[in-house]
Amino acid sequence: MRDAHRSPIIAVIGGSAATAEEAAAAEAVGRALAEGGAVLLCGGRGGVMEAACRGAKVASGLTVGILPGTDRSQANPYVDVPIVTGLGEARNAVVARTAQAVVAIGGSYGTLSEIAFALRFGVPVVGLRTWEVRREAHPPAPIVYVDTPEKAAARALELAR
Amino acid sequence: MRDAHRSPIIAVIGGSAATAEEAAAAEAVGRALAEGGAVLLCGGRGGVMEAACRGAKVASGLTVGILPGTDRSQANPYVDVPIVTGLGEARNAVVARTAQAVVAIGGSYGTLSEIAFALRFGVPVVGLRTWEVRREAHPPAPIVYVDTPEKAAARALELAR
Amino acid sequence: MRDAHRSPIIAVIGGSAATAEEAAAAEAVGRALAEGGAVLLCGGRGGVMEAACRGAKVASGLTVGILPGTDRSQANPYVDVPIVTGLGEARNAVVARTAQAVVAIGGSYGTLSEIAFALRFGVPVVGLRTWEVRREAHPPAPIVYVDTPEKAAARALELAR
Amino acid sequence: MRDAHRSPIIAVIGGSAATAEEAAAAEAVGRALAEGGAVLLCGGRGGVMEAACRGAKVASGLTVGILPGTDRSQANPYVDVPIVTGLGEARNAVVARTAQAVVAIGGSYGTLSEIAFALRFGVPVVGLRTWEVRREAHPPAPIVYVDTPEKAAARALELAR
């Protein structure tokens, strides 16, 4: 599935409202992913998404934002290529399908839906202070939890399909 | 949001592969929802979805299935109105938005994405032997866990917006 | 593809702003489709969509509206089952895929996109004072043009797959 | 709407089966758009889409493909950034919304749906041997027809919002 001639596309997902700690982590992850040669994918908005894009641009990476709304001006200023879906939150499925690995940082229910879709589609998920999910009689969800942005980016680059 | 002149639409979500116990629970929930005057909404496929529709039809309820694929013949035989989306798993967002309450029974990651979307959209979620989700520093998810199909249907009918 | 045990689902498509003549035609088509045993599908909003639903309800038919937005209160009052997609105009693809035949009445570019999707999906299209499309070196589009609402409903009922 | 700091995104739309003449035109348009500084957007598949991407890569442009399916390997080899939607033909709405101008070359009903969406969204459409649409009592559709690839690219670059 992974094409030799294309850069891997790795998503950073998380809330549009981020704590200072989450934003710092997202920026570090975005920078490390770009330094590792990945295209940075996200939902295009603020918070964790904006911080991740900002980090990627520090390393001169390419950033793509899959926007829920109908207006490209809703993209954060560090998005190079705004994809304007008009699909609302259903765009979360597009983020998860397009990514070859996902790094989840914090987040609320929208982020949880993206984690769930990534798991559904077999896309590797790396988690940094984010959701834990469990169901009795269901195998554990294969989320790779890490405790630093550096490890998050490194694991995502390794796991990208 | 709830219109007096329309029947409430309540979704039953869960896996397309269900255990015998899950299928029995889904059938009982579907029947009780129809007896309570609700339209039964689901993802249109087999397993929990089919069992819930079968139960609703025992009580002569109306059943609607939001199909992921492009072929209406993929609907289970108890779906009255197959909505053929062709959207793949992004249709999960449509199920969650259309429902005025959701009953989750078991399920895998697709079901988890529907729970997440319902929480994101403010749609009440009733859970029966299904996912638990938690994140440190995030308020607990307002999933109403119950232990019988009867309670699941009763709570969903009460909570439907 | 057509299941013996289900009522055929037939869409009436057209503008949310309709002339008096278009609304009268849509109401007559909706009524005749319901009398013919079809479920009336539409985009759920006003104008031609509302008139078609009103006609279907005169004949006690079932009406389903595939809404673009996120709020079921945007459905016209004659929609029995509002499907709340949140997908914006991409919901036009869902209308065209779900329908077993389409009647197009007037309309603007949204209606044109639904006609195009129906043609793309092989869904029969009956046209009443609506778009004509042509491309040199392309076979003529198989739109069945009629000049009365009665003929529109009759042809759609015949052609429904 | 047009951001000074971003390259304009211009879509080339047309059939996945293209004549030799259409493919040559699409390649010339893709090349001229990239030379003009645009990001080349398309549906990611073969025919006109592939030819346009190939042309853009000759000029070292960036190419983005909005794929209908679930597998990035369906992207043509000249797509730098495959967006894997899994939405089927509903992805046509995403292509039309994301583009700041559209060049339509030949095409069948899928292309017609993209033209219709672009018109619906107010995105400028330049046509080269493609669909003509008309409806009595409706203002003429503002499609700018041209007769050479050079003019198509030049007009699209001028009109991009």
Condensed to tens digits (0 to 9), the pLDDT of residues C113-141 reads 999 999 999 999 999 999 999 999 999 99
Report H helices in B14-148: 20-35, 48-58, 91-98, 109-121
Q: Which residue is listed with tokens 């009759």? A: C154
* Token pair recorded at residue A28: 């570090």
What mean pLDDT is predicted for residues D128-132?
Answer: 98
Closest CA to C103 of C5, C28, C13, C1: C13
- Residues with Cβ < 8 Å from D114, sequence gap 6 or more? D11, D13, D43, D92, D95, D96, D102, D104, D107
Closest CA to C124 of C147, C153, C81: C153
Cβ separation of B82 and C6 shorter than 8 Å? yes
Q: What is the 3-state secondary structure (H, E, C) of C68-124?
A: CCCCHHHCCCCCCEEEECCCHHHHHHHHHHHCCEEEEECCCHHHHHHHHHHHHHCCC
Rounded Cα distance between D160 and D158, Å, is 6
User: What secondary structure does DSSP assign to B3-53, as a single string?
Assistant: -TTS--EEEEEE-SS--HHHHHHHHHHHHHHHHTTPEEEE-SSSTHHHHHH
Rounded Cα distance between D127 and D135, Å, is 18
Which parts of chain A register pLDDT below 70? 1-4
- Residues with Cβ < 8 Å from D151, sequence gap 6 or more? none
More confident residue, A60 or C161: A60
Cβ separation of C86 and A90 shorter than 8 Å? yes
**Which of A87, A89, A92 is the best mutation test for C, with the most CBs of C within 10 A?**
A87
CA nearest to A73 within chain D: D1
Model confidence at D1: pLDDT above 50: no
CB C128 within 8 A of CB C10: no
User: Would you list which residues of chain D are within 8 Å, Cβ to Cβ, of chain C?
Assistant: 87-90, 92-94, 106-110, 112-113, 115-117, 119-121, 129-138, 141
CB A11 within 8 A of CB A102: yes
For residue B100, what pLDDT band results from cuts at 50, 70 and 90?
very high
C20 - beta bridge partners? none
Rounded Cα distance between C96 and A143, Å, is 38
Determine what percent of chain C falls in helix, strand and coil, rounding each to the nearest 5: 40, 20, 40
Give buried/exposed letters for D91-118 (b at 16+ CB in 10 A, else e). bbbbbbbbbbbbbbbbbbbbbbbbbbbb
CB C95 within 8 A of CB C68: no
* Token pair recorded at residue B114: 């529907």
User: Would you list which residues of chain C are within 8 Å, Cβ to Cβ, of chain D?
Assistant: 87-90, 92-94, 106-110, 112-113, 115-117, 119-121, 129-138, 141
Q: Which residue is listed with tokens 């990239």? A: D34
pLDDT digits (tens, 9 = 90+) for D9-44: 999 999 999 999 999 999 999 999 999 999 999 999
Rounded Cα distance between D157 and D150, Å, is 11
Q: Which residue is listed with tokens 């890490």? A: A146
Subunits close to A (at least 3 CB pairs below 8 A): B, C, D
CB B104 within 8 A of CB B128: yes
C63: enclosing H helix or E strand? strand C63-67
What mean pLDDT is predicted for residues D129-158?
Answer: 97
Q: How far is CA D59 from CA A133, B24, C1, D155, in A?
A: 47, 62, 47, 19
Q: What is the pLDDT of residue D9?
A: 98
Model confidence at D153: pLDDT above 90: yes
ipTM of the complex: 0.96
How many angstroms separate the CA of residue B7 from the nearest CA in chain C? 8
Angle between the N-to-C axes of helices C91-98 and D91-98, in degrees from 0 to 180, rounded to the nearest 10: 150
* Token pair recorded at residue C66: 């595939």
Cβ separation of B81 and C5 shorter than 8 Å? no
Cβ separation of D86 and B88 shorter than 8 Å? yes
For residue B75, what pLDDT band results from cuts at 50, 70 and 90?
very high
Backbone angles phi, psi at A41, to 5 degrees: -110, 145
Closest CA to C59 of C92, C83, C34: C34
- Residues with Cβ < 8 Å from C20, sequence gap 6 or more? none
Model confidence at B1: pLDDT above 80: no
CB C124 within 8 A of CB C115: no
- Residues with Cβ < 8 Å from D41, sequence gap 6 or more? D9, D10, D11, D12, D63, D64, D65, D66, D95, D98, D99
CB C110 within 8 A of CB C27: no
Cβ separation of A86 and C86 shorter than 8 Å? no
Q: What is the pLDDT of residue D156?
A: 98
User: Would you list which residues of chain D are within 8 Å, Cβ to Cβ, of chain A?
Assistant: 1, 3, 5-7, 9, 39, 62, 64, 66, 70-73, 77, 80-87, 93-94, 97-98, 121
D104 - beta bridge partners? D13, D127
C13 - beta bridge partners? C104
What mean pLDDT is predicted for residues B119-145?
Answer: 97
Rounded Cα distance between B107 and A116, Å, is 12
